[in-house]
Structure 1
């Protein structure tokens, strides 16, 4: 089929803005879906109209907090609505961004994303999943959550990746012809360099005059799994730059 029209759920979010940019640069027709554009994937407001003649839905909408129950309910409702409204509109497939290692998660936001994958895969429309490493932009968020000139950041291993890089890979997946062979691993995208969140935060902290102190992160959901590298990319993952340091040098 010729894929020309995309709807992007979460189009004004951190990743969604990049997905819209990449699709537009590649000459695709894009329908941005967010409450800011009058489309609510939870209540269904504006959703039927937005999906008119859409070929593919790219789902990068996310819940704003880490509490597992609320996040799971958000993803349950959004998955149901995208399938229901998408099927009525004749959408060919849904492509969704997820998180590397999510299959191991037992608690918190990652467990909600695990449920999100399962809920989407159980619906009537074909679904393609891209699992991504934590974004470069997440490091600034970690610092923002703490006020003052000292920040305590978990010294957990990560392989941070740029949002723009994830968006490009997600669009490639959406446009790929045919369906993956049975048993094909879920594709993953990560950055080129393994580091700890503390190391990355220290680079950013130096620019903000914030002292970064590494902690074990034991109070985080699934911290033991994370410490053992459970959320690092698999051997089949695609690794792509820029590194966190290179990306930081491009930021204002």
Structure 2
């Protein structure tokens, strides 16, 4: 198959590219480095022409609801328009478990993205997944205030990027599936404990007071809205497994 990947230089996108290439698929990266701008549509139609499928693995480093909604609506519309013109037969997007139960901040952008895909006129697959194991590192770094690293209290069920990437390529090979079964990690974890484990793993000696993430998103995260239900399919790699494979320090 010939597969185009938006967000191919990101953590998940790069792993999707690796898995797809290892299976013998042709892979195209949709990025500015290859002369393609997903936000304004420059070069998109020519870039996806001849592709059997387009995978949208784009992300945005912002929790602003307005920015997230604008970004995901714009990029989805540009991708889908190019795919319709080029005759692409499958659009697959990676989304997040629980966004309809917690449509706030970044999650509001993912809700808008899903709606655009469903109405976009290209046969589609939406794969929702839980946060990655790397979420602990991101939160540890993102909430740092000098020597203080607040610990966020919340239940999560993180999944391995490698397992999600394999599942995404499986779905591309299968063809348009609509809303796929949610995918999550093998067990529930406590985000604060994950953050402390990450700090210990890298040898960080910092003050880590426990705090509550503010706002509606924080409340939804604490009440389990981002957890999968019993219908979700589960990966096998635990956070402990993943952490043991990360370089220390």
TM-score class, shorter-chain normalisation, is over 0.9
- Given that 1:131 and 1:187 are in contact with CA atoms closer than 8 Å, whether structure 2 keeps it comes out as yes
Give 3-state SS (helix, strand or coil) of 2:120's partner. Answer: coil
Structure-1 separation of matches of 2:113 and 2:138:
23
- Given that 2:129 and 2:182 are in contact with CA atoms closer than 8 Å, whether structure 1 keeps it comes out as yes
- Given that 1:8 and 1:16 are in contact with CA atoms closer than 8 Å, whether structure 2 keeps it comes out as yes
Instruction: Give CA-to-partner distance per residue, 1:24-52, whole Å, 9 cap, x none.
Output: 01110000112233211111122122112
Q: Given the alignment of the two structures, is residue 248 of structure 1 paired with residue 246 of structure 2, yes or no?
A: no
The match for 1:169 is: 167
- Given that 2:39 and 2:71 are in contact with CA atoms closer than 8 Å, whether structure 1 keeps it comes out as yes
Structure-1 separation of matches of 2:130 and 2:9:
20
- Given that 1:100 and 1:232 are in contact with CA atoms closer than 8 Å, whether structure 2 keeps it comes out as yes
Structure 2 length normalisation: TM-score?
A: 0.92
Structure-2 separation of matches of 1:37 and 1:211:
43
Give 3-state SS (helix, strand or coil) of 2:209's partner. Answer: strand
Instruction: Give CA-to-partner distance per residue, 1:121-168, whole Å, 9 cap, x none.
Output: 111101100101011112111111214343112110000111111111
Structure-1 separation of matches of 2:124 and 2:75:
14
The match for 2:59 is: 62
Structure-1 separation of matches of 2:30 and 2:168:
17
The match for 2:19 is: 22
Q: 1:53 to 1:63 in 2, by over 3 A?
A: same
Structure 1 length normalisation: TM-score?
A: 0.91
- Given that 2:133 and 2:239 are in contact with CA atoms closer than 8 Å, whether structure 1 keeps it comes out as yes
The match for 1:235 is: 230
- Given that 1:56 and 1:94 are in contact with CA atoms closer than 8 Å, whether structure 2 keeps it comes out as yes
Runs (4+) off by over 6 Å: none
Q: 1:144 aligns with which of 119, 137, 141?
A: 141
Q: Given the alignment of the two structures, is residue 189 of structure 1 paired with residue 187 of structure 2, yes or no?
A: no
Give 3-state SS (helix, strand or coil) of 1:119's partner. Answer: helix
The match for 2:102 is: 105
Computed over aligned residues only, the root mean square deviation of the Cα atoms, in angstroms, reads 1.6
Gaps of 5+ in 1: none
Gaps of 5+ in 2: none
- Given that 2:73 and 2:113 are in contact with CA atoms closer than 8 Å, whether structure 1 keeps it comes out as yes
Summarize the alignment of residues 52-131 of structure 1 with structure 2, pairs less than 5 Å apart. 52-131=49-128
Shift of 1:225: 2.4
Give 3-state SS (helix, strand or coil) of 1:150's partner. Answer: coil
The match for 2:38 is: 41
Q: Given the alignment of the two structures, is residue 205 of structure 1 paired with residue 202 of structure 2, yes or no?
A: no
Give 3-state SS (helix, strand or coil) of 2:121's partner. Answer: coil
Give 3-state SS (helix, strand or coil) of 1:222's partner. Answer: helix
Shift of 1:216: 2.4
- Given that 1:198 and 1:213 are in contact with CA atoms closer than 8 Å, whether structure 2 keeps it comes out as no
Structure-1 separation of matches of 2:112 and 2:162:
25
